[in-house]
Every structure is written in structure tokens, then in C-alpha cells.
């Protein structure tokens, strides 16, 4: 009865199911609703009279899903006069029109594999197609990997830990497989029930083993600690002359030196004045050596400060032409580390304006204020931080890209993810945090997040939250530096695992269909 109801207005029902499925992600985390909605949508797709209809209903599901899921996107338009805030209300819908292409592709491919009934071949093909479409979403047109389906499992840690073995995109496909299994239970209740019980037992055993590893280590009194600082300064309170106010808040929350060496981390977007020496005098609002000294006086002799900042690039005539969104290490001697990290995966329309020859004459600008676009860095890199080992860096948005956050030739002991989530409204920060937790699970590495107004967090290598400062609150977290787990299968193979799982699922679907003929 319920399934027949879904097929009466398939396009509208798909749109509604897609919107409801977005409630499985943070902040609501109703993962069970997402499973039910995906299952209902899969039933609708299987009933489609043609592949064109399946594509259309898949697109409708995507429009509903991504409009609700990316509703926070509107808030980003509130901070740039050249981009009127009213455009922000259309932006999530416009983005959803594009992103919906990917679930439409998955639906179209799965429809081709359908049988006379809602059989296993259809479900397997849907799962395989979803893996491919979600991966494509992460790479096409620089990629927009926000909230892959598997992120709904972050609050269900035994399931989320599967990402250490297969990665995010493959786990998304397995999530579609589970949703499809709900359609098959009425036909094969006994074997499916046994299979699901066995999978549940394996997940619990896996979770218990991770918990044992996490609690087995002992921490000595002089074990290094990490201190995460969240000043709670909103985006519109930060201007070009805010150094005094910002330094006062950051200094107050940075604590005092103690017996243990401290790695103090400050967010992205809080230090606007330049830290590097050697620029032409005209670019400096304050002396960089004096600014570094003010930071260094907060440090003990074995402490280090990691902070977001900006570096400049100049042409032959000495004119500043490009900037980089960077991370610097400041030591107790007020000197910068030998290397800095420059953000590689920039946000289109945020940190650079695509096709400027067309958009600038229309009066449009990127959302981050300033005259210069940002330049791309070389990609995932790790910095040697004295006393703390190798630290991987991923700035803000970069952390959402599965398989592209760690330098495979130089495995770090942790990942530092400074971010500026003040652009992201109410829904964006908890979604961003959930994706950072998935990266910790995949790579088997702790992730340290510092943001201006939340959510800052220390994340263990199994994705568990060790500590967090809530959204729009000032505070600091100081905890022993979490240990890295042994390299995971995903950390060794990356998204080749997604390809392998997709091929296995798709190959099995083809075999089942041929056997049924």
C-alpha cells in the first residue's frame, strides 16, 4: 500500500523524499529517515516506464536533497557588498540543480539493470552507480564533495568505522545497498535477516577493537598536549584593523606554559596582518617581527603555535598580485618555521572568481572580501613541527575531499584543520565537523579543528570526539595529543577501494541479471 502510494506522483514524491533524506545529516542526524527515504526513492525509480523518467525522478530527488542539505550556503552571501545577500536564497537551489545530476545518473544506470521485480541485481547496480556518481561529484569542475551519503553514519560509530576499510564513497554505496535490502526483505526475510545480523555482529566487534586500542595507551605527565583556541568572533566583526581585538581574545584563551610541551592552534581567518618578513614596506600595516613576538610571548620554551594567515606573491615590479591562504608555525623564539602550508583546493566564488572575464563586468565578486584572488598551493603536505613530529595540514574546505588530505609519501601523526565556519550558518558547522570525523576514520589519524566561532574540536583516530567547543561560544580545549592508529587499508589504497567495491557490486549485478534470463 505504502509503496503504491509513492508511485502516484513520482516526481513530486522523489523531490519530497530527497528533502527528507537530508535530515539524516548533521545537525539532525536522523540517519534512519535517510535510509527509509532512499529505499522509497529506489522503489520509485524501479517503477519508471523509461530511462528518461528514471533520470527525471532521480534529478528531482537530488534537487530536494541538496537544497535542504546546503541551506547554510545562503549565509555566505551576507559578507560581500558586491554579492547581494538576496542572491543567497537562490544559491542553494541553483547549486542543487547542478548537483542533482549525479543522483540522476545513478538512477538512470540502475534502471537499466532492473528486472521484473525489485530484485538484488537492481539494488546492486544502484549501489555501484551511486559510488561512481558520488566520486564524480567530488572531482568534476574542481569538485563539490560536501556530505556524501555515508556521513549519516558518523553518530553510529560501528558503521562509520567501515570507512577505514573501504572509504567514504564505497561506504555510501553500501548504504544504498542497505536501503535497497529493505525492499527485498518482504521477499526473502530469513536469509536477509541472518545476513544483516551477521554484519551487525562484525560491526560491533570492530568497534570494540577500536575502543580497546584507543584506551590502552597511557599518557605521561610530560606528554605533549594540544590546545585549540576558539575566540568566537563573527565574520562581520573582523576587518582590516582588528589586530588588537583579535590578539587580545586569542591571547586570553591560549593558556599558560606548563610542564608538557603545548601545540597551540589558532583558526583560519583570524590573523589578517602579514607574518612573513621580506615584503615591500608598503604592504605592512604592522611590523611582522613585532606581531610574531606578541604571539611568541604566549609560548613556553617547548611550545609551538600553528595559525592561519596570509602570504603574498609579487610580480617583477614588486606589485602584490596574488595571495595564499596559509598556515604558519611560530616558535618561542618568534621565528617562523622553515615551511608554510598553502591551501591547494580553493573554494570557487569564495577564494577565487571563475571566468572573471564574464562575471566581473556583471558586477559580481568572490565572497571573501579583498581585491586579489588566492593562488593554489601544491597539494597535501605535512610540516615538521619541532617537538611534535610531522603534522598534516588541510585548511577548511579541503578536509571534505576523501583520499586527498594526506601526503602519501610522508604520513603525519595528525591533521590540523584550521577553518572559518563563520560563513556556514547554523547547519554548515556541524556538517563540516562530521566530515572531518570521517577523514580521521579513513586515515587513522587524529584531526584537530580550530575555527573562529565553532565548532572547534579534537577528534581521535577512530572519529570519536575527545573535546569540542560549541558553535558561537568562546573557549579552548587542552588535551593530551591523541595517538595515531596504525595505517588503515584506506590510507594505503585510497579511492582505488571505491573502484574495487563498485566493480564487485556492478559485476555481481550483471551476473544476476544474465542468470535470470
The verdict on whether 338 is a catalytic residue reads no
Q: How distant, in Å, are the alpha carbons of 177, 197, 513 from that of 192? A: 12, 8, 19
Quote the Cα angle for 258-260-262, to 5°: 85
| Residues 6+ away with beta carbon under 8 Å from 187 | 117, 118
315-343: b (≥16 Cβ within 10 Å) or e: eeeeeeeebbbbbbbbbbebebbeebbbb
The verdict on whether 343 is a catalytic residue reads yes
- Active-site residue among 23, 134, 249, 268? 268
Say how far apart CA 452 and CA 237 lie, in whole Å: 11
Say how far apart CA 48 and CA 462 lie, in whole Å: 41
Q: φ, ψ for residue 311 (rounded to 5)?
A: -115, 160
- Active-site residue among 396, 398, 442, 443? 396
Going by C-alpha positions, the residue among 235, 223, 244, 231 that lies closest to residue 388 is: 223
- Active-site residue among 343, 351, 398, 442? 343
The verdict on whether 37 is a catalytic residue reads no
Q: How distant, in Å, are the alpha carbons of 151, 199, 276 from that of 158? A: 13, 11, 45
Going by C-alpha positions, the residue among 454, 443, 422, 427 that lies closest to residue 485 is: 443
Helix (H) or strand (E) segment spanning residue 459: strand 456-459
Under 8 Å between Cβ of 250 and 270: yes
User: What are the catalytic residues?
Assistant: 268, 343, 396
Amino acid at each position: 500500500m505504502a509503496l503504491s502510494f509513492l508511485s502516484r506522483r513520482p516526481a513530486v514524491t522523489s523531490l519530497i523524499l530527497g528533502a527528507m533524506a537530508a535530515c539524516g545529516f548533521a545537525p539532525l542526524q536522523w540517519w534512519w529517515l535517510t535510509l527509509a527515504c532512499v529505499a522509497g526513492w529506489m522503489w520509485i525509480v524501479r517503477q519508471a516506464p523509461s530511462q528518461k523518467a528514471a533520470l527525471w525522478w532521480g534529478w528531482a530527488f537530488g534537487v530536494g536533497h541538496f537544497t535542504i542539505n546546503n541551506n547554510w550556503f545562503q549565509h555566505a552571501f551576507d559578507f560581500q557588498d558586491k554579492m547581494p545577500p538576496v542572491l543567497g536564497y537562490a544559491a542553494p537551489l541553483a547549486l542543487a540543480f547542478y548537483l542533482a545530476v549525479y543522483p540522476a545518473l545513478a538512477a538512470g544506470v540502475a534502471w537499466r539493470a532492473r528486472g521484473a521485480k525489485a530484485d538484488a541485481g537492481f539494488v546492486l547496480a544502484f549501489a555501484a552507480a551511486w559510488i561512481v556518481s558520488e566520486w564524480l561529484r567530488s572531482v568534476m569542475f574542481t569538485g563539490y564533495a560536501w556530505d556524501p551519503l555515508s556521513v549519516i553514519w558518523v553518530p553510529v560509530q560501528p558503521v562509520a568505522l567501515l570507512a577505514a576499510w573501504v572509504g567514504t564513497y564505497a561506504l555510501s554505496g553500501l548504504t544504498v545497498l542497505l536501503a535497497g535490502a529493505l525492499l527485498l526483505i518482504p521477499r526473502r526475510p530469513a536469509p536477509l535477516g541472518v545476513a544483516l545480523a551477521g554484519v551487525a555482529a562484525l560491526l560491533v566487534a570492530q568497534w570494540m577493537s577500536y575502543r580497546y586500542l584507543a584506551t590502552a595507551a597511557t599518557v605521561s605527565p610530560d606528554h605533549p598536549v594540544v590546545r585549540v583556541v576558539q575566540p568566537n568572533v563573527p565574520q562581520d566583526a573582523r576587518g582590516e584593523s582588528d589586530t588588537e581585538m583579535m590578539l587580545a581574545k586569542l591571547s586570553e584563551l591560549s593558556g599558560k606554559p606548563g610542564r608538557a610541551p603545548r601545540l597551540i592552534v589558532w583558526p583560519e581567518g583570524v590573523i589578517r596582518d602579514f607574518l612573513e618578513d621580506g615584503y615591500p614596506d608598503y604592504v605592512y600595516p604592522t611590523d611582522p617581527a613585532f606581531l610574531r613576538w606578541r604571539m611568541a610571548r604566549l609560548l613556553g620554551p617547548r611550545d609551538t603555535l600553528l595559525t592561519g594567515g596570509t602570504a603574498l606573491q609579487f610580480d617583477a615590479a614588486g606589485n602584490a598580485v596574488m595571495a595564499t591562504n596559509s598556515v604558519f608555525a611560530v616558535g618561542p623564539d618568534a621565528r617562523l618555521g622553515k615551511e608554510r602550508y598553502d591551501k591547494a583546493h580553493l573554494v570557487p566564488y569564495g577564494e577565487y572568481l571563475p571566468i572573471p572575464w564574464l562575471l566581473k563586468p556583471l558586477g559580481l565578486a568572490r565572497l571573501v572580501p579583498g581585491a586579489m584572488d588566492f593562488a593554489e598551493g601544491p597539494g597535501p603536505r605535512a610540516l615538521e613541527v619541532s617537538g611534535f613530529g610531522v603534522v598534516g595540514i588541510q585548511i577548511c574546505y579541503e578536509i571534505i575531499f576523501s583520499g586527498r588530505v594526506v601526503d602519501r609519501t610522508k604520513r603525519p601523526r595528525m591533521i590540523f584543520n584550521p577553518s572559518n565556519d563563520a560563513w556556514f550558518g547554523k547547519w554548515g558547522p556541524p556538517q563540516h565537523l562530521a566530515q572531518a570525523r570521517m577523514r580521521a576514520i579513513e586515515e587513522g589519524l587524529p584531526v584537530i579543528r580550530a575555527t573562529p566561532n565553532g565548532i572547534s574540536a579534537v577528534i581521535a583516530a577512530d572519529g570519536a570526539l575527545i573535546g569540542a567547543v560549541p558553535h558561537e561560544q568562546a573557549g579552548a580545549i587542552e588535551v593530551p595529543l591523541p595517538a595515531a592508529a596504525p595505517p588503515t587499508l584506506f590510507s594505503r589504497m585510497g579511492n582505488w577501494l571505491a573502484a574495487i567495491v563498485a566493480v564487485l557490486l556492478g559485476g555481481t549485478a550483471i551476473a544476476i541479471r544474465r542468470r535470470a534470463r
